[in-house]
Amino acid sequence: MTAISLETEGLSRHFGALTAVNRVDFKLAAGARHALIGPNGAGKTTFINLLTGVLMPTRGRVLLAGRDITARAQAERVKLGIARTFQINRLFRGLSALENVCISVAERVGAAPSMFYPAGRRADVIEESMHLLETLKLGDAARHRVSELPYGRQRLVELAIAIGLRPQVLLLDEPAAGVPSAETHIILDAIERLPEQIAVLIIEHDMDVVFRFARRVTVMVGGAVFAEGTPREIEANPQVRSVYLGQAAELAAHG
Amino acid sequence: MNVALAPADEPAAAARLAHPAARALIRRHYFRWWEALPWAAAIGFYFAFPAYLAFGTELLITVLFALSLDLALGYAGIITLGHAAFFGTGAYAVGLLAFHGVWTEPITSLVLAAMVAAAIGFASGLVLLRTRGLTLLMLTICTMALLQEAANMAHDYTGGFDGLPNLPIAPIFGAFAFNPLYDNTQYLYALAVLLISFLFVRTLVYSPFGQSLTGIRENLLRMHAVGAPVRRRLVICYTISAALAGVAGGLWAQTNAYVNLSALDLDRAATVLIILILGGYGRLYGAFVGAAAYLALEHFLARVYPTAWQLGLGLLLVAIALFAHNGILGIGAMLWRRYGRRRAAA
């Protein structure tokens, strides 16, 4: 049994009468490649928001490496090693790709509160950010404003900002969403090359992506964990097929 | 392969730092030749227009006030229409101390003005900066209105509506007295204070802290997600901005030798906002260009059309809002880029 990196116990979140997340017990192993799937409205993004501290749970606990972080604010959780990307890009749109990553790296290395020397003197921050962009094959995009980059490359910058935090746990909320299918492989390649020791949880609708990437899959339906197992087990699970995979196949057929 | 954790080897690292994007960041804070222009112009003005030094002093103070607003609004994206709160606080701090004979030394008075304005900025910022957008805008106006009403009601100390006239201001360094008829001392003093304040703001905006403020302006939610203590940064920025506005207000009180309620007026707060938008916000020199353009327009248009000069200003603002979202400097930057592109194409 591998070490548990991130864990939830009876995690619930109500919005008025709606129970968005319902008593979820979830374990993310260290170095995991874990996918979270489920129909729209299943509570996947709310669950991520609870893990990162954007939302506070109505009940239950969040543990990072055995330590209770339920009461910690979002920024503190980032310092403890939880990073995320967003389903819809949240970039510093007016800044260059390199500046986008520099903001994240400067925050991680603790340079950001410094007021009395130029940011340009932090060659370590700039060098590391440039290195990160190059490994994501974004070197030639470094000087461009991110708002001027094609969407697929913007998604990579989105990913780079999160990796720049050197997280232990990386939560990817539909990393390939909105990317033209011809470019999806760029994102997937980048995700597959992530350092082994990072535990990755990915929310994804595209089943090809899930089965290519994940070693473990959790299915959420109606805010609760519906099934969990290896991709093969999930694929073979008749109930999952009826509530989710069938639906996804139907959606794919229609859309 | 490890993406983020691969050890960096020296030659490759040097190559990365030589990349144009990296070089641009490393050199961003370097002084450019044209940065000397506004200061050369200010010194030239001193010799060329000795009869206009009162106007020049007002211009320099307005630049400082607009610069303080630029830090909060242009860099950190704090939407405020109440910045005269801090201008007025600084002005009244200097005025009250001088009028009641407590303290008249100008330089230390300015430091005190900065500290009092910073305290008000810090205290109000702690509450205000929990909000955003229209709520924040309204609360900044409310803060200013409260201060103005307080200054009005405490007329035993502040002179109320009449203000505090004939402030006794000690000579600078005990040697250079303010002469109400000849503004030479006032002008050079204001210029020196502006230069020091400007160098401070310039250092700040190019620092890692300044970059993180830009990050907050560009995407507040993402700044939370990279672990930045967003509200603390905003409060610090707002406090510094308030202190600088307080210095501007203190200067205004000293060089005019009076304070009145107009220091805390919505009109003043709106004017400085217009000036910053006119010049271009978030670009340091917008304050200079905007203040010069506004005051020049006011001065000369008001002479030609005493009743309708604001119409000219209004038309200019409409044009800027429609065609150039980043003010006069924004237009300049756009033309420069186009010229550069054409030159590259040729």
What is the 3 state secondary structure string of chain B? Answer: CCCCCCCCCHHHHHHHHHCHHHHHHHCCCCCCHHHHHHHHHHHHHHHHCHHHHHHHHHHHHHHHHHHHHHHHHHHCCCCCCCCHHHHHHHHHHHHHHHHCCCCCCHHHHHHHHHHHHHHHHHHHHHHHCCCCHHHHHHHHHHHHHHHHHHHHHCHHHHCHHHCECCCCCCCECCCECCCCCCCHHHHHHHHHHHHHHHHHHHHHHHCHHHHHHHHHHHCHHHHHHCCCCHHHHHHHHHHHHHHHHHHHHHHHHHHHCCECHHHHCHHHHHHHHHHHHHHCCCCCCHHHHHHHHHHHHHHHHHHHCCCCHHHHHHHHHHHHHHHCCCHHHHHHHHHHHHHHHHHHHC
The Cα–Cα gap between B285 and B292 comes to 11
The Cα–Cα gap between A101 and A163 comes to 9
Domain that includes residue B168, residue range: 37-42+49-265
Nearest to A131 among B8, B21, B223 (CB): B8
pLDDT at residue A253 is higher than 60: no
B219·A106 Cβ contact <8 A: no
pLDDT at residue A26 is higher than 80: yes
User: Is A4-92+166-254 a CATH 3.30.43.10 domain?
Assistant: no
Structure confidence by residue, pLDDT tens digits, B214-244: 999 999 999 999 999 999 999 999 999 999 9
List the one residue out of A164, A165, A163, A141 whose CA is nearest residue A154.
Answer: A141
Nearest to A113 among B28, B209, B225 (CB): B209
pLDDT over 90, % of chain B: 71
Residue of B5, B23, B29, B222 to mutate for A, most A C-beta atoms under 10 A: B222
A127·B21 Cβ contact <8 A: no
Identify whether the C-beta of residue B140 lies closer than 8 Å to the C-beta of residue B81.
yes
Residue of B201, B211, B221 to mutate for A, most A C-beta atoms under 10 A: B211
Which residues in chain A have their CB less than 8 angstroms from residue B223's CB?
Answer: 103
Nearest to B25 among A94, A126, A139 (CB): A126
Mean pLDDT of chain B: 91
Nearest to B8 among A107, A116, A127 (CB): A127
Give a yes or no: residue B131 inside a domain: yes
Which residues in chain A have their CB less than 8 angstroms from residue B130's CB?
Answer: none
- Cβ within 8 Å of residue B10, ≥6 positions away: none
pTM: predicted TM-score of the whole model, two decimal places: 0.91
Identify whether the C-beta of residue A187 lies closer than 8 Å to the C-beta of residue A152.
yes
Give me the pLDDT at residue B286, please: 94
**Alpha helix ranges (H) inside A143-244:** 151-163, 184-192, 207-213, 231-236, 238-240
Backbone torsions φ then ψ of A163, nearest 5 degrees: -65, -35
B277: its two tokens: 């938008």
Q: Which residues pair with A216 in a beta bridge?
A: A34
A194·B3 Cβ contact <8 A: yes
pLDDT over 90, % of chain A: 73
Of the pLDDT bands very low, low, confident and very high (cuts 50, 70, 90), residue B6 is very low
Q: Averaged over B13-32, what is the pLDDT?
A: 93
Residue of A48, A84, A115 to mutate for B, most B C-beta atoms under 10 A: A115
The Cα–Cα gap between A163 and B5 comes to 10
- Find the residue in B nearest to A78 (Cα): B227
- Burial group, residue B322, by CB count within 10 angstroms (0-12, 13-18, 19+): exposed
A91·B226 Cβ contact <8 A: no
pLDDT at residue A248 is higher than 60: no
pLDDT over 70, % of chain B: 97
Identify whether the C-beta of residue B315 lies closer than 8 Å to the C-beta of residue B306.
no
- Cβ within 8 Å of residue B329, ≥6 positions away: B279, B280, B283, B285, B286, B289
Which residues in chain B have their CB less than 8 angstroms from residue A108's CB?
Answer: 226-227
pLDDT at residue B4 is higher than 50: no
Give me the pLDDT at residue B85, please: 97
Structure confidence by residue, pLDDT tens digits, B173-196: 988 988 877 889 999 999 999 999
Nearest to A106 among B20, B27, B212 (CB): B212
B3·A107 Cβ contact <8 A: no
Structure confidence by residue, pLDDT tens digits, B238-279: 999 999 999 999 999 999 999 999 999 999 999 999 999 999
Which residues in chain A have their CB less than 8 angstroms from residue B20's CB?
Answer: 142-143
List the one residue out of A63, A51, A149, A47 whose CA is nearest residue A98.
Answer: A149
Q: Averaged over A118-125, what is the pLDDT?
A: 95
Identify whether the C-beta of residue A70 lies closer than 8 Å to the C-beta of residue A149.
no
- Find the residue in B nearest to A141 (Cα): B21
Give a yes or no: residue B290 inside a domain: no
B228·A166 Cβ contact <8 A: no
- Burial group, residue B90, by CB count within 10 angstroms (0-12, 13-18, 19+): buried
For residue B112, give how far its alpha carbon lies from the nearest alpha carbon of chain A (Å). Answer: 22
Identify whether the C-beta of residue B65 lies closer than 8 Å to the C-beta of residue B82.
no
The Cα–Cα gap between A113 and B210 comes to 9
- Find the residue in A nearest to B15 (Cα): A127
Residue of B3, B29, B71, B240 to mutate for A, most A C-beta atoms under 10 A: B3
Counting the structural domains of chain B, the total is 1
pLDDT at residue A106 is higher than 90: yes
Identify whether the C-beta of residue B230 lies closer than 8 Å to the C-beta of residue B216.
yes
For residue A108, give how far its alpha carbon lies from the nearest alpha carbon of chain B (Å). Answer: 8
Would you list the domain boundaries of chain A? 4-92+166-254
Structure confidence by residue, pLDDT tens digits, A50-96: 999 999 999 999 999 999 999 999 999 999 999 999 999 999 999 99
For residue A84, give how far its alpha carbon lies from the nearest alpha carbon of chain B (Å). Answer: 7
Name the more confident of B140 and B320: B140
- Find the residue in B nearest to A146 (Cα): B218
